[in-house]
Chains A and B, each alone.
Chain A
């Protein structure tokens, strides 16, 4: 029982903390992009490509974390380890 509740908490923390980081990162990058596009509109297309590239990079760690957390939540691998423990 303890393992299940701890893994549930861990899954929440993985998703939540990852989301905080990714959202702050995307927010800062988006604001800087808008600022620089307002300063130099002729660079907008070039900057947009780079912004999407960076959005993919920033999102990746968060999405990987979400995937792992969902894996823990649906098919908990630690329960199998407990079953194999010597009694």
Chain B
């Protein structure tokens, strides 16, 4: 209790500021790293809102689409759709699957770009508004947690990558059949043998390799997006601390200038990371689904 009143009187220390910004608005604190009974309301809210916004604008573009001279917005959406479609054509060589996989890749791309772009909003803007609402509702402002970048939440990015894994497993069964896929699981990547004892040993080895491959693909897929966004958010927080030090002490014009320069530079570089990571996630989705179509 003493510590909390201390914080209220003297403001936050740097560590407390960062920990406060990295705490989710959740129903309970997780007991350990994996705890499936925890719900992160802020990530869920922002990801669903952004998903609805993305769907709404794409639907609007599709509804107003004309065969004549397109407007600017329609042209932009057409460029996007054509880009995704041409990437899908190069990777997934199956026209029937592409009817589902190309829109999937487009959705993933647009959705992840929107979620990543939340990183470019000032780090304290939405948390400060939320703290005002939270206090007005009669709660303690020290518990007004809000994280606005859904992809900087491991639950969201791993959720996306596990959905991609499920789609890959579905296409493995659909394209190769249950028999064909089981045969591939025990014969690829090392091949098999005529000798029945050797064949069993090779089968176990192959199956182990396949399982490791699926786990590694899924974990690296989700962790890559999460790591990039988490590191980006943390660097924005550290930059914000520079400006925070100025407003807390009223001294240090160098820090204020440093804040503006570092913040702009990182934000500009971050635009590249935002689009690049969404693109990488989309491409890997296509590559993994494409691998499910390859017969060995």
Contacts and interface: CB of A to CB of B under 8 A. Distances in A.
B22 A75 contact: yes
B291 to A, nearest CB: 15
A67 B280 contact: no
B14 A74 contact: yes
A55 B277 CA distance: 10
For A52, A56, A59, A74, which residue has the most chain B Cβ atoms within 10 angstroms?
Answer: A56
B234 A71 contact: yes
A57 interface: yes
Interface string A60-87: 1001101110110011000000000000
A59 B223 CA distance: 12
A37 B231 CA distance: 33
B136 interface: no
Nearest to B241: A74
B224 A64 contact: yes
Given A74-B14, A75-B18, A75-B19, A66 B231 contact: yes
A78 B234 CA distance: 19
A26 to B, nearest CB: 12
B225 to A, nearest CB: 9
Contact of B276 (A52, A66, A68, A75): A52
Contact of B227 (A57, A67, A74): A67
Q: Classify the secondary structure of A's interface with B.
A: helix
A11 to B, nearest CB: 12
Interface residues of B, number: 24
A42 to B, nearest CB: 16
A53 interface: yes
Interface in B198-246: 220, 223-224, 226-228, 230-232, 234-235, 238
Contacts of A71: 230, 234
Interface string B44-60: 00000000000000000
Interface in A5-59: 49, 52-53, 55-57, 59
A52 B224 contact: no
A66 B233 CA distance: 12
Contacts of A52: 276, 279
Contacts of B279: 52-53, 56
B18 A67 contact: no
Contact of B280 (A56, A66, A70, A75): A56
Nearest to A55: B276
Contact of A67 (B14, B234, B283): B234
B15 interface: yes
B280 A57 contact: yes
Contact of A70 (B87, B220, B238): B238
B283 A64 contact: no
Nearest to A60: B224
B287 to A, nearest CB: 9
Contacts of A67: 227-228, 230-231, 234
A67 B18 CA distance: 13
Given A53-B279, A53-B283, A56-B277, A75 B231 contact: no
For the complex of A and B, 8 pairs with smallest distance between CB atoms:
A64-B227, A67-B231, A56-B280, A60-B224, A74-B18, A67-B230, A70-B234, A56-B276
14 contacts: A52-B276, A52-B279, A53-B280, A56-B276, A56-B277, A56-B280, A59-B228, A60-B223, A60-B227, A60-B280, A63-B232, A67-B234, A74-B14, A75-B22
